[in-house]
Amino acid sequence: MVTDSVAHMDTDAMLDYCAELGIDAIEFCVGNWGAAAHIGDVKMLLEDSARQRELAAKIRDRGLEISAFTANGNQLHPTDGERQSTVVHNAIRLAEIFEVPRIVLMSGLPAGAPGDSMPNWVTTAWPPETHDILRYQWEDVAIPYWRKLVDYAEGRGVNQLCIEAHGAQLVHNMPSFMRLRDAVGPTVGLNFDPSHFIWMGGDPIEMIRRYADCIYHVHAKDTYIDQHNLAEATRLDTRPMDRVLDRSWSYVTLGYGQPEDWWREFCWQLQARGYSEGVLSIEHEDQNLSCNEGVRRSVDLLRRVMPQEQPDYQLPD
């Protein structure tokens, strides 16, 4: 479970809740767009070995492990990027200390040109200036930053930088992800969140078929597509997320967007293509269900559809 799914709970209550539900792993949010409700002051934690041991013991005593530290934000922001990049680097340092091989983050989104003060998400190939924007964003900003970040992570034993592809980020689909991975190497993989691809019109199961070796971590989150609103708003809907009845799409609890059979195939494809020991990290962002109900219903659905054991079938002689 992503810890910010129950941000209203204190750390002990959150850990007890996970143990009660039979959750195996937790994904700690450490700042930027996450509340970091359960990690406390990250700077203090990094400097206090006693606090580190205390937190590790609390997790271990409940039969849990840390799947990742998450620092989702925009470290390429033209005016706030340096601060957000510090959070990313702190997540890597925590991963090193707690011997977790991965962090989750987004690619970031630069400005459209030098001197701009706001990020610029290009969504079309026309008009012609979009290509100038993309050249600057990729070649002058993103790739140089990510090459340095990969070196920093590898130097601390963190060999999986798991990008969460999302709208309004430079990496938002598989072509943009592969452009970054090809430029900086296989330390960059996916935090595969199907809900994002669903609202953008992609097919997550087909992506698993094609890119399974790039998937390092998985978010379990669903998207509801309102076909009536979609007809007039399209998928590029900028209305506030709390206007659920008006929007063309909304994030929902597992099973409230895609049917249970879809999630069964999703899990089957992951297992069959090598993700048999990976984590499905529940992320609650459903505005129509409570955190408690949303997480519990997600756990229940996953228990029904996901493989619980390693395959052991042997072909007869």
Q: What's the DSSP call for residue 100?
A: -
Q: Give per-residue pLDDT as tens, 180-235.
A: 999 999 999 999 999 999 999 999 999 999 999 999 999 999 999 999 999 999 99
pTM exceeding the 0.95 threshold for the entire prediction: yes
User: In angstroms, rounded to a whole number, what is the distance separating the alpha carbons of residues 69 and 2?
Assistant: 9
Determine the pLDDT at residue 66.
Answer: 98
What is the identity of the amino acid at 4? Answer: D
Paired with 151 in beta bridges are none
Distances (CA, A) of 3 to 34, 92, 188, 259, 289: 9, 17, 23, 25, 17
User: In angstroms, rounded to a whole number, what is the distance separating the alpha carbons of residues 130 and 198?
Assistant: 25
CB 109 within 8 A of CB 119: yes
* Six-digit token string for 44: 């203090």
Phi and psi of 273, rounded to 5°?
Answer: -110, 20
CB 1 within 8 A of CB 27: yes
What is the identity of the amino acid at 310? Answer: Q
Determine the pLDDT at residue 161.
Answer: 98
* Six-digit token string for 43: 């700077």
CB 163 within 8 A of CB 192: no
Strands 249-252 and 222-225 come out as antiparallel
Number of neighbouring beta carbons within 10 Å of residue 72: 26
Determine the pLDDT at residue 233.
Answer: 97
Q: Hey, what's the torsion of the CAs at 116, 136, 197, 203, to 10 degrees?
A: 160
Domains, in order of start, for the chain:
3-221+259-305 (3.20.20.150)
Q: Give per-residue pLDDT as tens, 247-261.
A: 999 999 999 999 999
Residue 30 falls in which region: left (phi positive, over 0), alpha (psi -120 to 50) or beta: alpha
Where the chain has pLDDT below 50, the residues are: none
Question: In sequence order, what are the residues at sequence separation of 6 or more whose Cβ sits closer than 8 angstroms to the Cβ of residue 169?
Answer: 74, 106, 107, 108, 109, 121
Determine the pLDDT at residue 311.
Answer: 87
Determine the length of the chain: 317
Give me the residue label for tokens 């799914």.
5
User: In angstroms, rounded to a whole number, what is the distance separating the alpha carbons of residues 6 and 37?
Assistant: 9
Determine the pLDDT at residue 102.
Answer: 98
Determine the pLDDT at residue 36.
Answer: 87
What is the identity of the amino acid at 98? Answer: F
CA-wise closest residue to 15 among 7, 26, 5: 26
What is the identity of the amino acid at 154? Answer: E
Determine the pLDDT at residue 297.
Answer: 98
What radius of gyration, in Å, describes the C-alpha atoms of the chain? Answer: 20
